[in-house]
Structure formats: structure tokens, C-alpha cells
Amino acid sequence: MIDLKNLTIEEAHESLKRGEFTCRELANAYLKVIKEKNPEINAYIEVYDDVLDQADEMQKKFVSKTDTILTGIPFAIKDNILIKERIVSAGSKILENYKASYDATIIKNLKKAGAIFLGRTNMDEFAMGSSTQTSAFGVTKNPIDTTRVPGGSSGGSAAALAGDMTLAALGTDTCGSVREPSAFCGLVGLKPTYGAVSRQGIIAMGNSLDQVSPFGKCARDVEIIFDFLSNYDEEDSTSVSDELRDSRLKNQNSNSKKIGVPWHLFKEGIDTEVQENFKESLDKLKKAGYEILDIELPHAKYSLAVYYIIMPAEVSTNLSRFDGIRYGYSAEGENLMDIYKKSRHNGFGKEVRRRIILGTYVLSHGYYDAYYIKALKVREKIKTEIMETFKKVDYILTPTVPITAFKLGEKLDDPVSMYLCDIFSAPANLSGVPAIALPSGVSKDGLKFSIQFMASHGREDLLFEVGKKFETIM
């Protein structure tokens, strides 16, 4: 019997090398849990029918001694990441039967490493949401408490990992879409530096914000996945060059011990229990030798407002391609305009339509300068002050989210309340810096707490360092 609950990537790799179990046996163990749990959790939209065939192929790599640490490791893949000849729907009816014509670059990397793809996971439609309740394929439940949300928009991947339905998972993070589900499900989630991981082959939500992001049970698992995914991709114009990656590491010497805390951002909307857990985490870090400093990020308080102008603007542009003509869902109509209207009304859900309309509004004549251009200017100020802060400290620390996992259906009629879940996530996406969410305790109700470390551009190494250290002092 394989102990899926406590299994890590390194342990699985060593067991596969020693022959304690095979790739097929490992994959089959997860398939059995999926069969048992997924009907209720709804983490997977589709479980692939060739999983065991994939496993048999990967076993050959161990025989030929060409295996990597990810060979035979089962992955759950968010439903907006293209895998050739497989359906990729972005959680939307408008793409429910669309088959990818090519592999995303990160999928090519994982295939080369020998990973096994278990299936595609549920998500908020086109990654628009913080709860995985806006999917066209039903809501996903939190395995820790099935009356609560797993977070979003990558809630399916988080629920699959937390529910022992996979050993590793990928999501995308536009404004906390991996870190928030990690927090709600007791996982580690990394939002990499913008451009560190290729975006080629990802169904875009906000081009200047999206990043493919790994989930793991521990910081080391996330580090392993990131190392395989992080490289320059000439097919992605936003990919960071090797020279810049190297210079970011060389030009920033650090003792990795100074942590800045922006207490002024904690004034409202944060649960008392979350605040108490954060203070307890700080005490543990102090005892472990970290220096805690108060910092000011005066423009960071505008992050959420800026995000909810820039993101819808990019959404309205990106989703204009889904018109019911070229591919995806198409409704019958009396004329071209009628087809457009019916296809988009029936194909897009309520939240997606809301953001398209909002984005179209802020980009429209008369409002472009007043909203969009102004938001871009404030974004630059936020980025500048964060980069200046990293000249004084090695990390910026906050709670990952201001609340614990909320009840299913609780915030659906109050979108602003839902958006406020992203209050600590937005600065990292707007500035492009990396951030990691780490489990930091359990509430009285058995729900998970989480803290978030941010570091300077290209310094994921510091995040893994502090993440592994924090796990030892918890």
C-alpha cells in the first residue's frame, strides 16, 4: 500500500528507482482515489483514459536509466493549459469540445521529463473567480471540508492534490489563483517571477499578469517542478532571457534574513484568527533568527483597484476572439450579429460577461485615459516602491488571504466581497515579483491558515529557502 497522504516527489522517485512500486502501480493508486472521491469533490473535469499506458511508457525510462526526478510522477493539469489532441475548455461552455492543436511549452518540458498526466482539472471559467464556482462544469469542493470552496481559479488542481488524487499539480496565477487555493487547501503554491515560466500554450486571461504556477505538498516539491518549467522560451515574447535570469541572481547578494511586514495594509477585512496566526508565524520566524522590520508600501493599498481595471481590460481584448465563428461553441442565428450575440450569451457565464463589459467600458473612448492609463501609472508606482523595498529587506511577508475558506455559495451574490480575497495577492502580479504561499496552521474549525512571502525578481531561490526553513519550525 502506497502512503499517498505523505508521499513527496523525491520519495516517490526513490521508491520507483528502487522498484518498491512501478509507475503503473503509482498511477493506479491515484486513479482509485479519483474514482472514489471525484464524484463529490469534482476536482477533475476529465480523467484521461490512457494514464496506465503513459505509466508503462515511463517505466521504460527507469529500465534504460534515462529517468529524471519527475519520471512517472502523476500530474493534474489546469483546464487552460494546452495538451495536444486533448480537450482544453478553460472551464467554459464556449470551448467545451475544443481540442488543442499543440502542446504548451511547459507540457513539452514535462513530457520530456517523463511526467504522467492524470487529467484536466476544474477551474473558474477563463480563470475568472476566487472559488471555482463559476465553471461551466459544476463547482469544486474543498477536500478538507466539502461544504467550503477550495479557492480559485485553480481550485480543481488544489483539490486534486489536497484530496490525494495526484502527487503534483499545475495552475495559473493572475492574482492569487494558485496562492489562494493553496491557502484554503493547506498546500504550497508558487507564483513565479513574470516571464520565468513560458506562457506559450496557455489560454490567456490577463497577458501582463498570468503565470503558470506549481502546487506541491511541500516547498521542495514546488522547487522541483519550478526547476523543470523555468527556462527561456523563444516562442513566448514575455519570457525572460537567460542573461537577465543570471544577472538577477548575481547582482543581489543577500543574507536572506530580513523580513519586511507592511502592517498598514492589515487594517480592515482580515479575520481575527488569521491575524493571530500571522503574529504566531512571525514569532516563530524571529526565534529562527529572522529579523522582522516594519515597512511602508503607500501605493500597495491601491493594488486591488488597479488590478480590477487592468485585468478586465485585458480580458475584454483576449476573449473577443471567441465569437462563435472560428472555433468553439456556435449558436444558430438569423444573421452574423445574431450569431455573435447568442454564441457569447450562451457560451460565456455571468462572471465572464461581467468582466468583459467592465473591460470594454474602461477601454472605451472617454474613459481610457481616466481609468486604464491612470491604472497603468499607479501600477508602475507600486512596482517601483516594491523594488525599492527589496533594497532594504529580503522578503515581504503578509497573510496569503485575509480569511479562511468560506462556504459554498456564500459570496456568489457579492462579487466585490469575493474580489477582496485577492487583497494580498495583487501586488506580486502587478509588480511581476515571485511569491509563495505556505501553510501556517489550522483554525479552531479545522480550516487552514497560510502566509505569503514575496521576493525580488528572479529570487525564487530565496522563497524556497525560507519555505523549507519555515516548514521545519512549524
Run means of pLDDT, 10 residues per run, the chain, 474 residues: 96 98 98 98 98 98 97 98 98 96 98 98 97 97 98 98 98 98 98 98 96 98 98 96 84 75 89 97 97 96 96 96 90 94 95 95 92 97 97 97 95 81 95 98 97 97 97 94
Per-residue pLDDT at 252: 59
Q: Which residues are identified as catalytic? A: 78, 153, 177
Q: pTM of the prediction?
A: 0.96
**What count of other Cβ atoms lies within 10 Å of the Cβ of residue 449?**
24
pLDDT the model gives residue 373: 97
**Residue-level pLDDT at 53:** 98
85 — alpha (psi -120 to 50), left (phi > 0) or beta?
A: left
Do strands 448-454 and 258-261 pair parallel, antiparallel, or not at all (unpaired)? Answer: unpaired
**Per the structure block, which three cell numbers stand in for 67?**
529517468
The cell for 278 is 500571522
pLDDT score, position 250: 67
Determine the pLDDT at residue 414: 81
Burial of 472 (0-12, 13-18, 19+ CB in 10 A): exposed
Q: Where are the domains of the chain?
A: 9-245
CB 308 within 8 A of CB 294: no
Distance, CA of 41 to chain centre: 19
Residue among 150, 125, 140, 149 nearest 205 (CA): 125
With contact defined as beta carbons under 8 Å apart, do 148 and 408 qualify? yes
Torsion of CA 237, 240, 242, 245, to 10 degrees: 180
Residue matched to cell numbers 475558506: 405
Buried b (16+ CB within 10 A) or exposed e, 202-212: bbbbbebbbbb
- Chain position carrying cell 469540445: 97
Q: What is the pLDDT of residue 255?
A: 65
Can you say whether residue 403 is alpha, beta or left, with left for phi > 0 and alpha for psi between -120 and 50 degrees? beta
Helix (H) or strand (E) run with residue 214 in it: strand 211-216
Domain 9-245 = CATH 3.40.1160.10: no
C-alpha cell of residue 18: 528502487
- In this structure, what DSSP letter does residue 190 have? E
Task: State residue 469's pLDDT score.
Answer: 97
Q: Within 242-296, where are the H helices? A: 242-250, 272-287
Alpha helices in 230-349 (DSSP H): 242-250, 272-287, 303-318, 336-347
Instruction: Determine phi and psi for 190, rounding to 5 degrees.
Output: -115, 130
Give the CA distances from residue 247 to residues 190, 207, 253, 388, in Å, rounded to whole numbers and listed in that order. Answer: 22, 25, 11, 18
Other Cβ atoms closer than 10 A to 50: 12
pLDDT at position 251: 60
Cis peptide before 230 (omega within 30 of 0): no
Query: What is the distance between the alpha carbons of residues 303 and 310, in angstroms, rounded to a whole number?
Result: 10
